[in-house]
Structures are given as C-alpha cells and as structure tokens.
Amino acid sequence: MKELDKAGKEFLLNSIRCINDFPKPGIVFRDITTLLNNKEAFNFLIDHLAARYENASIDFIAGIESRGFIFAAALAARLRLPFVPIRKPKKLPYITISQKYSLEYGVDEVQIHIDAFGEKAGAKVLLIDDLIATGGTAKASVELINQTNAVCVEACFLIDLKDLGGSKNLRPLTKIYSILEI
C-alpha cells in the first residue's frame, strides 16, 4: 500500500494550523480546519488515501466521532464503500454495543449500531480518525469493531503524536498507518 512521500507530508503539515496553549498551557493544538478549508490540501489527502486503499479489499470504513467522520466519510464516498460512525453514548438511534475506555481522570465510551457491518461475519473494516494521542478512543473503537464479528484491518490517522504512545498501544490490535508523525 502506498505511503506519502516527504514532500506530500510537508504539504499537508503546512496546511495545518498550530495553536499554542490550547486548550490549556503547554499544549500545541493541531487545528485541521485549515486543511479542510484548503481544497488542494484536502483533495490531495483524500486522493492519497484512495490510492492507498483502493485495492485493499475493504468492506466498510468506520470513522470516530467527530473529526474522524470527515475523512472517513469522504474516503468512503470516493471508494464507493459504506461509512459507519463510531459515536459517543446516546448519539445513535438504534440498538448499540459499547466499549468503555480509560481517560486521564475517568472513563468514557464509544458505541456502534449492533448491525453496523450487516450480516457479513469477518467484514474488513478500515478505521479512520484525525489524530492518535494516547490511543484510548482508537483502542476502544478497534475492540468495538471486533465485537461485531468484523475485523479492523487497519487504523489510519492523519496525525500521530508519537510521544504520547497511542500508536504503540494500538499496534498489538491492528495495523496502523499514520500520515504525519509529530
């Protein structure tokens, strides 16, 4: 599968605004709204993902609420595949299954419709989110996909904050592709 070259990575990285001390002092927030607002950068990203996954025999693309929806839905439309949202509790209207995960100061959870991947056992699912930090939400999402008898074949992230260790924590569960590593 195709990986992005150095020039492509720099192009995407330069389209993302950095905001210091947000949401609290010492944090550098990676604001992807500037990438989304840049039609060349956004289309370049989706073109790259489409080229990477067009022959990967994927059955579904799942996106994690909320920014993961943007990339996952755009890629699903481009590849003519079904999009499945993974959401916070009480956001999905039908019967759901849940997976809890630990936060720094508590517990959160993600949910998916019980029939999200249809009747096909072993459906191959690509999971997408904008960023992986500590990996709690991504890990819970992979576990949730696997609970449905589908298989998460890869988790894809625009940005991997390497120092926070999320990709390392997720790697035992699925393959990972991070476009940008910071």
Of the candidates 164, 85, 90, which has an alpha carbon nearest to the alpha carbon of residue 129? 85
Q: All domains of the chain, ordered by start, with CATH?
A: 56-181 (3.40.50.2020)
Query: What is the C-alpha to C-alpha distance for residues 84 and 107, in angstroms, rounded to an integer?
Result: 23
The SS3 call for residue 19 is: strand
Strand partners, 110: 99
Give the separation between CA 182 and CA 167, rounded to whole angstroms: 12
Q: What is the pLDDT of residues 65-111, one digit of tens each?
A: 999 999 999 999 999 999 999 999 999 999 999 999 987 678 999 99
Provide the H-helix boundaries in 37-151. 39-53, 67-79, 136-147
C-beta of residue 145 within 8 angstroms of C-beta of residue 62: yes
Please write the tens of the pLDDT for every residue from 12-47. 999 999 999 999 999 899 999 999 999 999 999 999
